[in-house]
Structure 1
Amino acid sequence: MKILDRYLLKTFLGTFATVFVILFFVFILQTVWLFIAELAGKDLDFVMVIKFLAFSMPRIVPLVLPLSILLASIMSFGNLSEHYEFAAMKSSGISLQRAMRSLTIAIAILSIVAFLFANNVIPYAEFRFVNFRKNIAQAKPALAITEGQFSDVGSYNIKVNKKSGENGNHLTGITIHQKSLNGDGSKTAIRATDGELISSDKTSILQLVLNDGNYYQDIVPKKYEDRDKLPFAKSSFKKYRINIDLSQLNKVDTKDESVSNTSTMLTVNDLKYTLDSLTKNRNTEIVSFSENSGSRIATLSNNNAPQVSKKKALVKNLLSIYNNKQKVEILKAASSNAQSTLYTIDATRSELDNKKKNINSHILALYDKFVIVYACFLMFFIGAPLGAIIRKGGLGLPIVFAVLIFISFHFINTFGKRISQEDGIPPFFGAWMSSMILTPLAVLLTYRATNDIGLINMDVLLAPVQKVFQKLFQKIIPSQNKE
């Protein structure tokens, strides 16, 4: 390896590492902010917080990596141009493409690592992250209850004076208000001296066992004049059990699809297998529904007008044998059957649309693993020429350009995914839309940097304006001379 290549690699990789760490830390803070409701006020120990953050970190890499490459490229080549090092290279016969050659190899290696990371580490981390949020209540169910204040847990508001025990499962001074199903406030209150939270990995039900307490329930008399007496029922107990659904804790959806079959939790091979199964399942359902509909609905053999008129005449002849009341009942039954069929069609169409959206989301997840590879090259071939053109390093102008370009890339990428997921455009174009739009920019910047052309050719913009002013002056000056 030549000295120049070592110098460029050292400059770029050092800048890249610094930028990557800073941006990664910023995005981690954003993740903490998004999930602050699940972390704050629940007495999470340090180990559980670290696990929570560790499982959420890998999903940030596809955002941070392209932006870091873009910013590091602009800063590195901007510094080279600003200190005339790039000019010295050109005077020695070293072109921009030659200077970028060793860095291109480094970006290729980095892209391969990014693909392996997106295909193996991120799916595993996503699976652990979702299940960790789901099982955090099972591991320490008392986390959902805060001392000294009412905590909303499912259909209950629970307040305890003190929590004790290894996982805080032993509760003292318990007050519970059960929510009314009608939404008209709490009509049931339970007081207990102490209690215990019992959970198991084999079930999703959390048991709250109460000891030595009273059960109060308001009674609403049928007579309005008796309601002013505020009657209630009271009973005491030695032991009372309340079952709480764990899915209400931490507000996590525990459906099987969201826990084990999310598209972001699958590798390339898993996505291909899942897509094949989902597509076959949807096609089978379409065929089955069409066959069932054909057997339920009386269809005409063809659409010839004489046969239609014969059918209508036959219906009229059949109805003529019934009285008016029976005719009304028959027509109502026919209308009800037709309406039922329409409802079935609408429900099936909605279900098929949802399955199509699920298929599209899996296709997008498959393409995303390859988009990150191309995004690394794209951001490098935008950042390196742009840095050589603007001739500015440091954290000033390069950050402005990097943020604008990356926001455009991310916005177009998100926009394309949303449209393709709704089946507005093919998923291929939705996943690759941002890359397709920004690739011409990379080609243009590389061409202009190679040929020492500025970012904007002001002559092209000013030439038409100059011609207009020249024509105006030519008209004004001769008229003044005549006077």
Structure 2
Amino acid sequence: MLSSFLYNFLSSFVILMVIFIFQTVWLFIDDLAGKDLDLAIIGKFLFYYMPTLIDKVLPLTVLLSSILTFGTFAENYEFAAMKASGISLQRGMRSIIVFVSILGVGTFFLANNVIPAAEQKIFNMRRNIAKLKPAAVIVEGVFSDIEGTAMNIKVARKFGEEDRFLDDVIIHQKSTTNLNTTVIKAKTGELISSEDSDIIQLVLNDGYYYDEMQRKSSKDQKKKPFARSKFETYIKNIDVSSLNDQDIEQESDITTDKMKNVFRLSKDIDSLKTNNIKQVTAFSKNITARMGAFPLKMVDSLKNVDLKKAAKKILPKKIDTSFNTNDITTALPIWQRSQLMTKAENTVTNILNTVRGKKTELNKRYEIYNRHILSLHKKFALAFSCIILFFVGAPLGAIIRKGGLGLPMVIAIILFLAYYFIGVFADNYAKKGAWHPIIGAWLSTLIMLPLGVSLTKRATNDKGLMSIGNVIDSITAVFKKKKESN
């Protein structure tokens, strides 16, 4: 039984991994296609990406291989022969249970050590691929930034040897203030470079040069002056010395929650929590001070103060103090009252804008905090999911009594899609703080747990997937009770 399970497990794993790799190529087609990348670089990218597919491939592999194995045994009446020999289903599953348990431990090791390292490699490669060959950065039909040049370029078509000839070129040149003040348009262009030179010449033909002129006077600047010139040939030199030495696997200091192991995540979760509390506390004190709010003790001490007498001492004598204590503005002249109300309105508006801006920042901070908790628990949930999905697939295969790649494959895909999409929705809700990240990490696995327990009990007791007789008896009993009550 173990040898049959291992055969189905390994074959299913290889097939599913190939399918998901092809899906990965399609997912990152914009990063890989049209960049003149060597096959070795693409191969490295896919190799580093393979461990990150474990969270999708491994649970589906366990589910499918268990359904295939036990479905084939049940279809060939081998379970009946085992039971006739006094061997129970649990005893027959014992060796596979040990293997799946070891697999769960190995999955945790992958999730804790291998997958974070692979995520780091993928992040660095995606970040550096565009810098490897500057000429390859230019993508047809979209604006492409060229690192280190403060410019982006869009072309309608690339053609010729090494895509050196360009059609319909548009260039946005950024100023020192990072604004697009210069626009260059040309019908055709050509990239001229040499292996011994750090300069790429961009030769543009038959075009226009637009430049927004910066004036010192604000009055002149409101007129939005610009200069326009037509050219037959315009040569633009691009310094790529900082790009030619770019290493495709150069490491960066940027790390996300997916690039950290359990120890690092636990440490960063405590740091993020403490920092978020400090941010909220400091912001609350700042807003309280800006609003002029009083501490509760001071408010209590002011309850018995006569506002009229206090106003007579503080305000000028010319101001009429016969006013309603509920509205202190009636003591002021109309022009001062208008100024006071305008200032109060501006203050409140500024405070609200500050609160809205800080709310966005704090939501982002807490989303990062939630992501760390989610990543921490997903490492454990992935290991347990392999064990739980085995106890879903194995008894299900024994119940449906069907081997091969027909019905078992359909059932496995349906169950896995339910498991996967529940996990995706739970992740999204947890990241946004709709519910606790621990629930988001464990929800799909916990939903499969009672299903596995129920199916295992039914398979042990030789019951079908659904007993129609029991359902009919229950419905009949309900109608019988209603008839007796009438």
TM above 0.5, yes or no, is yes
1:255-280 per-residue CA deviation (whole Å, 9 max, x = no partner) reads x8xx7221111111111122122111
1:430-480 per-residue CA deviation (whole Å, 9 max, x = no partner) reads 111112211111111111111111111121112245679999xxxxxxxxx
Can you give the 5+ residue segments of structure 2 that lack an aligned partner in the other structure?
A: 146-151, 213-226, 244-251, 320-331, 482-486
Structure 1 residues 206-215 or 82-91, which shifts more?
A: 206-215
Q: Describe how 1:81-480 pairs up with structure 2 within 5 A.
A: 81-145=74-138, 152-154=143-145, 155-158=152-155, 162=160, 171=164, 176-179=169-172, 188-189=185-186, 195-196=192-193, 208-210=200-202, 216-217=208-209, 232-234=228-230, 240-242=236-238, 260-302=254-296, 307=303, 310=306, 318=315, 321=319, 323-464=333-474
The structure-2 alpha-carbon separation of the partners of 1:308 and 1:57, relative to structure 1 and needing over 3 Å to count, comes to farther
Q: In structure 2, how many angstroms separate the alpha carbons of the residues matched to 1:179 and 1:199?
A: 28
Query: SS of the residue aligned with 1:178?
Result: strand
Residue equivalent to 2:11: 18
The structure-2 alpha-carbon separation of the partners of 1:232 and 1:440, relative to structure 1 and needing over 3 Å to count, comes to closer
| Contact persistence 1:198–1:208 (CA under 8 A) | no
Cα distance, 1:414 vs structure 2: 1.3
Q: In structure 2, how many angstroms separate the alpha carbons of the residues matched to 1:384 and 1:199?
A: 64
| Contact persistence 2:190–2:204 (CA under 8 A) | yes
| Contact persistence 1:141–1:197 (CA under 8 A) | no
Q: In structure 1, how many angstroms separate the alpha carbons of the residues matched to 2:206 and 2:93?
A: 78
Query: SS of the residue aligned with 1:241?
Result: strand
- 1:65 aligned to 2:58? yes
The structure-2 alpha-carbon separation of the partners of 1:199 and 1:407, relative to structure 1 and needing over 3 Å to count, comes to farther
| Contact persistence 2:370–2:430 (CA under 8 A) | yes
Aligned length: 433
Cα distance, 1:150 vs structure 2: 6.5
Letter matched to residue 152 of structure 1? F
Q: In structure 2, how many angstroms separate the alpha carbons of the residues matched to 1:338 and 1:315?
A: 24
TM-score (norm 1): 0.78
Q: In structure 1, how many angstroms separate the alpha carbons of the residues matched to 2:290 and 2:276?
A: 21
| Contact persistence 1:12–1:76 (CA under 8 A) | yes
Q: In structure 2, how many angstroms separate the alpha carbons of the residues matched to 1:343 and 1:151?
A: 35
Cα distance, 1:65 vs structure 2: 0.5
The structure-2 alpha-carbon separation of the partners of 1:193 and 1:345, relative to structure 1 and needing over 3 Å to count, comes to closer
Cα distance, 1:157 vs structure 2: 2.2
Query: SS of the residue aligned with 2:284?
Result: helix
1:68-101 per-residue CA deviation (whole Å, 9 max, x = no partner) reads 1111111111111111111111111111111111
Cα distance, 1:56 vs structure 2: 1.8
Q: In structure 1, how many angstroms separate the alpha carbons of the residues matched to 2:196 and 2:374?
A: 38
Letter matched to residue 303 of structure 2? Q
Cα distance, 1:305 vs structure 2: 11
> What is the aligned-residue identity percentage?
37
Letter matched to residue 217 of structure 1? Y
Query: SS of the residue aligned with 2:171?
Result: strand
Structure 1 residues 30-39 or 440-449, which shifts more?
A: 30-39
Q: In structure 1, how many angstroms separate the alpha carbons of the residues matched to 2:165 and 2:348?
A: 61
Q: In structure 1, how many angstroms separate the alpha carbons of the residues matched to 2:173 and 2:135?
A: 23
Query: SS of the residue aligned with 2:154?
Result: strand
| Contact persistence 2:389–2:448 (CA under 8 A) | no
| Contact persistence 1:174–1:194 (CA under 8 A) | no
The structure-2 alpha-carbon separation of the partners of 1:176 and 1:57, relative to structure 1 and needing over 3 Å to count, comes to same
Query: SS of the residue aligned with 1:260?
Result: coil
Q: Describe how 1:31-50 pairs up with structure 2 within 5 A.
A: 31-50=24-43
Q: What RMSD over aligned residues (CA atoms) do the two structures have, in Å? A: 3.8
Letter matched to residue 279 of structure 2? E
Structure 1 residues 233-242 or 327-336, which shifts more?
A: 233-242
Can you give the 5+ residue segments of structure 1 that lack an aligned partner in the other structure?
A: 1-7, 201-205, 221-230, 248-255, 472-483
Cα distance, 1:326 vs structure 2: 3.2
Q: In structure 2, how many angstroms separate the alpha carbons of the residues matched to 1:309 and 1:427?
A: 50
Query: SS of the residue aligned with 2:237?
Result: strand
| Contact persistence 1:16–1:68 (CA under 8 A) | yes
Query: SS of the residue aligned with 1:156?
Result: strand
Letter matched to residue 209 of structure 2? Q
Q: In structure 2, how many angstroms separate the alpha carbons of the residues matched to 1:11 and 1:216?
A: 71
Residue equivalent to 2:224: none
